[in-house]
């Protein structure tokens, strides 16, 4: 289905989603309209590839200035806006995800948001994304990228984050079409926990070197995943 035909087909659902966003008292400050406008501005900057991997999330994506152009043979499309959450991606799914008809979605969970959010709310959003994937006949894999355990976190936040990571990992094991990816190991070296060397002084934003490490980790995982699907086994 062409993207033009896709937009016509989902227009009524987009209107409904926008209405729900306006009248829902629990809606966050970022609306579907604002997120859609931000994504459209990014769309206008270049043509959209036909076979793409959608890289999305909030601050972790925003500061990734040298994000990879390709994973395997697929081009990577980065889309983000301040305040973007899994909840909003679920609520505004037709335009923020469905419009791109991706073969894979890499959804980065932001550390600070994830350390405060209720796991039930997050899982409901992820399930909503997967349900709409089926409704619209899309076939992408959803890679949920675990929040990075940054040096900034308090012991309480670390405990909350550890519990949430465990619950999302268990959910992903049971949900066909999803893949849960942790990146802490790529940033640990021989340090106990993630190495502060890979973070800016705010204790949460990754340095260029930190982003290079997680890029290599994701490329490796993507190659391994592709081999699984093609039946190629490493010697």
Q: All domains of the chain, ordered by start, with CATH? A: 3-230 (3.40.50.1110)
**147-189 pLDDT, tens digit each:** 999 988 999 999 999 999 999 999 999 999 999 999 999 999 7
Determine the average pLDDT of the residues in 32-47: 92
How many of the other CB atoms lie within 10 Å of CB of 213?
Answer: 20
- Judged by average pLDDT, the poorest of 27-31, 63-67, 109-113 is 27-31
Residue matched to tokens 């060397």: 197
Give the pTM. Answer: 0.83
Instruction: Of 64, 140, 46, 74, give the one whose Cα is nearest residue 108.
Output: 64
């Amino acid at each position: 289905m062409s993207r033009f035909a896709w937009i016509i087909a989902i227009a009524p659902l987009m209107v409904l989603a926008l209405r729900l966003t306006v009248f829902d008292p629990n809606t966050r400050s970022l609306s579907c309209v604002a997120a859609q406008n931000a994504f459209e501005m990014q769309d206008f900057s270049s043509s959209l590839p036909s076979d793409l991997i959608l890289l999305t999330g909030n601050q972790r994506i925003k500061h990734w200035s040298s994000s990879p152009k390709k994973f395997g043979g697929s081009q990577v499309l980065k889309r983000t806006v301040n305040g973007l959450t899994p909840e909003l991606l679920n609520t505004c799914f037709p335009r923020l995800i469905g419009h791109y008809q991706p073969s894979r979605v890499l959804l980065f969970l932001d550390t600070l948001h994830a350390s405060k959010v209720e796991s039930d709310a997050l899982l409901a959003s992820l399930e909503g994304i997967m349900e709409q994937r089926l409704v619209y006949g899309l076939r992408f894999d959803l890679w949920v990228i675990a929040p990075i355990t940054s040096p900034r976190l308090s012991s309480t936040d670390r405990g909350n984050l550890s519990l949430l990571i465990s619950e999302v990992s268990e959910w992903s094991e049971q949900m066909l079409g999803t893949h849960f990816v942790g990146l802490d190991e790529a940033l640990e070296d021989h340090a106990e926990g993630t190495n502060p060397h890979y973070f800016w002084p705010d204790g949460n934003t990754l340095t260029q070197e930190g982003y290079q490490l997680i890029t290599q980790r994701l490329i490796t995982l993507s190659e391994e995943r592709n081999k699984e699907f093609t039946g190629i086994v490493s010697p």
